[in-house]
Amino acid sequence: MSYQALARSERPQTFSEVVGQEPVTTTLKNAINQRRVGHAYLFTGPRGVGKTSTARILAKALNCLAFSEPTPTPCNECANCIAITNGNSLDVIEIDGASNRGIEEIRSLRENVKFAPAGSRKKVYIIDEVHMLTEQAFNALLKTLEEPPDHVVFMFATTEPRKIPATILSRTQRFDLREITSDDIFRHLKKLTTGKDIAADDAGLRLIAFKAHGSLRDSLSLLDQAIAYGDGKITTTAIGPLLGLLDSEAYYNLVELFIAQDTAGSLEQLNRIISEGYTPFDLVTGILAYLRHLLLVKVKAGKLIALERGEAELVKLRTQAEKVSSARLLQFIQVLLSLESTVRKSSSAEILLELAIIKITEFGHDIPYEELLSRLDELEKSLVSGQPVRPPPASGEKIVRPPLEQAVVKTVPTASGTDTVTEREAAPITGGDKVKWWPIFLERLGADNKHAMQNHLHSHVVKVEQHGEKIVLKIDNQTSYNSLKRPENLEYLSAKIRDILGENFTISCEQVKSAKPRTASSGLGTESRLPALPKVDDPTIRMVIDKFQGQLTDFKPESRTVKEDLASEKYE
């Protein structure tokens, strides 16, 4: 006989042989024992986890001739079991939903279900990739699926259950098959190679199990390739280039160089690995997987790694995890994650990987998070006040911020000499250097794209008062007051001021009478004049402002509020 691939010859033939799906197989066996077999089943899950195989085993369990009734342990020796295994049973009809997806095929199925099985207890229809059926085909199937003849059982398999109409889902018993763990796949491959006298070391089999990504069928296909590539022997060294994966020792050595910030050594190791046939993408994905395991060990999640890598490797990971902080590992992972999406398609993948490694190794020593915050705080203060930055506080030193003062309000002459405008200075913090927090406050709002709120505050807050831990904003505009006093806006502003001042401050709003001149008439005509702008020394800026003001003066909105908003907000 011609050779049959392991993915076909090693398909499970009984419920006990199905790997990693105990909740599903246990439920089906109990249903058979209790004579509670349904008329329609839906098996969902990723590729290669046993959906169609489970359906075939259930079909054999219902029709095995070695027992007078359905059994959870079919014999696999009677005529029905053999026919179902070989795929030539007259009573177990397998349909490919991708190539038989139209309404005509479903109409033909509806006509055939009325006929009794030829030599079995049940006629079973197994439709694979059922989500590929058309909407009309699903509609044609509905009535038959809800009330099929007593001798018919439907079994559907799909990788895309969300594409199946809810009317179909509600008429089936759904079983979700999960991805198979690397440890379960490794044990299955170990048992298989031992039974077939195939020389295989555990490290090589674990590499195959890891590369399969939860699919037992994929792992069997990879095992077939590995046996051929290694001339009947499966070792990490032999199959590494085939799978695009290094053994854990290579990753361990590379990460050791990262931790030691040995840029030259890291690049030499990288070039050596690539010269052996590994692609940059293989390296990125492999290093990321190793760093993930290292980070999990660092945060005390070692049991997860023991299942995937084994206890021996877990010991090495723990030793290495003690040499590096979690923050540093996260930095390694973030750099490589940003590279993963581009390195596969890039013509300069090797250069990109080299740059990433340089970034990792040249990052420098860890800086405590609290110290970074302190430095940023001092830098913001120096930018506003013009004072030099203080040296960072000693370790353990608490940063004490001085109390808040009221805002200073100044009135200055305008360009026309007849009107006045309010020029607001930031409320200073007393004690030590005079630091103005108001510009920082407004800048934070702009950084968060809160431009409307920023304009309201900048244009209509005429005074800032402090009462203990409460900051009161005096607002001279009804529209701005109504907007800012909303609970969600006050909560947001309070959070922002706490970010800056580091205390339990809260912000509230009070409306005050506007100091801006207004015309007595209720309507606006040509006699109404917008507030003039302050004098600007730079002639170029002055020219632009004068032109802009002229355009606003010619504009006649329908209400005073709109014109005031234009005057106050757009100039700023």
Instruction: Write the pLDDT tens digit of every residue in 2-48.
Output: 788 899 999 999 999 999 999 999 999 999 999 999 999 999 999 99
For residue range 182-211, list pLDDT tens digits in order: 889 999 999 999 998 888 888 788 888 888
| Bridge partners (DSSP) listed for residue 412 | 421
> At 539, is the pLDDT very low, low, confident or very high (cuts 50, 70, 90)?
low
- Closest to 115 in 3D by CA, of 103, 107, 123: 123
Residue with tokens 């004068």: 546
Alpha helices in 131-201 (DSSP H): 135-146, 166-169, 182-195
Query: Cα separation of 458 and 465, whole Å?
Result: 16
First to last CA, the chain: 86
Asked whether the domain spanning 248-361 has the same topology as the one spanning 6-176, the reply is: no
Q: Which of 118-127, 203-212, 458-467, 514-523: highest mean pLDDT? A: 118-127
DSSP state of 469: T
Report the largest interatomic distance among the alpha carbons of the chain, rounded to a whole angstrom. Answer: 109
| Bridge partners (DSSP) listed for residue 47 | none
pTM over 0.85: no
E strand segments, 100-229: 123-128, 152-158, 173-176, 199-200
| Cβ atoms < 10 Å from Cβ of 533 | 18
Please state which CATH number belongs to domain 182-243. Answer: 1.10.8.60
Q: Where are the domains of the chain?
A: 6-176, 182-243, 248-361, 409-511, 521-572
Q: What contacts 398, CB < 8 A, 6 or more positions away?
A: none
- pLDDT over 90, % of the chain: 31
Which of the listed CATH numbers 3.40.50.300, 3.30.300.180, 3.60.20.10, 2.60.40.1180 matches domain 409-511?
A: 3.30.300.180
E strand segments, 26-178: 40-44, 92-96, 123-128, 152-158, 173-176
Taking each helix axis from N to C terminus, what angle separates 326-343 and 349-361, rounded to the nearest 10 degrees? 170
> At 454, is the pLDDT very low, low, confident or very high (cuts 50, 70, 90)?
confident
Residue with tokens 């008329």: 39
Which of the listed CATH numbers 3.90.950.10, 1.20.272.10, 1.20.1440.230, 3.30.70.1150 matches domain 248-361?
A: 1.20.272.10
Query: Dihedral sign, CA of 483, 484, 488, 492?
Result: positive
Say which residue, 102 or 368, is predicted with more confidence. 102
SS3 364: coil
For residue range 419-436, list pLDDT tens digits in order: 444 343 433 333 222 235
> At 127, is the pLDDT very low, low, confident or very high (cuts 50, 70, 90)?
very high
Q: What is the pLDDT of residue 85?
A: 92
For residue range 473-495, list pLDDT tens digits in order: 888 888 888 888 888 888 888 88
| CA angle in degrees (0–180, nearest 5) for 424-426-432 | 145
- Closest to 239 in 3D by CA, of 254, 219, 267: 219
SS3 95: strand
According to CATH, the topology of domain 6-176 is: Rossmann fold (3.40.50)
For residue range 332-360, list pLDDT tens digits in order: 998 998 888 788 888 888 899 999 999 88
Average pLDDT, rounded, for the chain = 78
116 close to 123: Cβ distance less than 8 angstroms: yes
